[in-house]
Structure 1
């Protein structure tokens, strides 16, 4: 089993997710990939992370299926890290973290980056958790149940 792989005996999806991608560098690598970064050197330059840490995180992200390693799109000898479908599905998680940070970790006039949609150039609407009928939900509106495959 990988050192950074999710524990197979944990029944909590949050715990497994945090084990897989919950460290700072993994999430920042994924964030940069959403911004179009593909090469090791570009990740290293953008993040300022030590090469050994970056190599370890990228290796783990490839092993758990977040990235595929591909030949460079420009035909050079370099390789690129491309988000898989599994990796692209982390986008709402990154947006949610961003929106929480924008709301609670910056002073009103403090400079920050903003995520804009490409079509209208406007900030994204705040993400909300909704029921199957479309109603906005708060934590008190939900509960957890243990579920095993094959249970009805």
Structure 2
């Protein structure tokens, strides 16, 4: 999202002081995150997003428009020169850690033990290790060791 839009007052924010709430206002619905996920996996065209997700045309049109308007995707002319394609912006690529964390949570909690699921691997084919946030001193962080500090 462009800085000017992100910092501008917006009566639409669910909770204007909370970064989590603002993020969810932008990408918190199922389809937006699946479009971003597929863009990270190489989808570029409307048809490709639709094929991969099964999303209805009108909903996909709305999500692509919203993600583009908020600076997570950009449109450019495809190499063929015949149509537009969607590419992740830096802000869109910054959602990688979010998508990865959701994926890893799903691997742990959304499948039965031994149930098959897709796996994210690096360029060498090695599964991506689990994400574990750590403090400046290297101590692992969780909900019990952190708290929110609200603006005055």
Name the SS of the counterpart of 1:139 in structure 2: coil
Task: Specify which of 29, 44, 49 is matched with residue 43 of structure 1.
Answer: 49
Structure 2: distance between partners of 1:43 and 1:25:
10
Q: Number of residue pairs matched?
A: 143
Aligned equivalent of 1:109: 114
Could you list the per-position Cα deviations for residues 58-87 of structure 1 after superposition, in whole angstroms to 9, with x for gaps in the alignment? 0000000000100002x2311010100000
Query: Which sections of structure 1, spanning at least 5 residues, go unmatched?
Result: none
Structure 1: distance between partners of 2:129 and 2:92:
22
Task: Specify which of 9, 22, 25 is matched with residue 28 of structure 2.
Answer: 22
Query: Which sections of structure 2, spanning at least 5 residues, go unmatched?
Result: 6-10
Name the SS of the counterpart of 2:76 in structure 1: strand
Answer 1 or 2: higher relative contact order, Cα 8 Å, separation at least 6.
2
Alpha-carbon RMSD across the aligned residues, in angstroms, is: 1.8
Could you list the per-position Cα deviations for residues 72-128 of structure 1 after superposition, in whole angstroms to 9, with x for gaps in the alignment? 02x231101010000000000000000000001111221210001113x11111111
Task: Specify which of 127, 142, 149 is matched with residue 145 of structure 1.
Answer: 149
| TM-score normalized by the length of structure 2 | 0.88
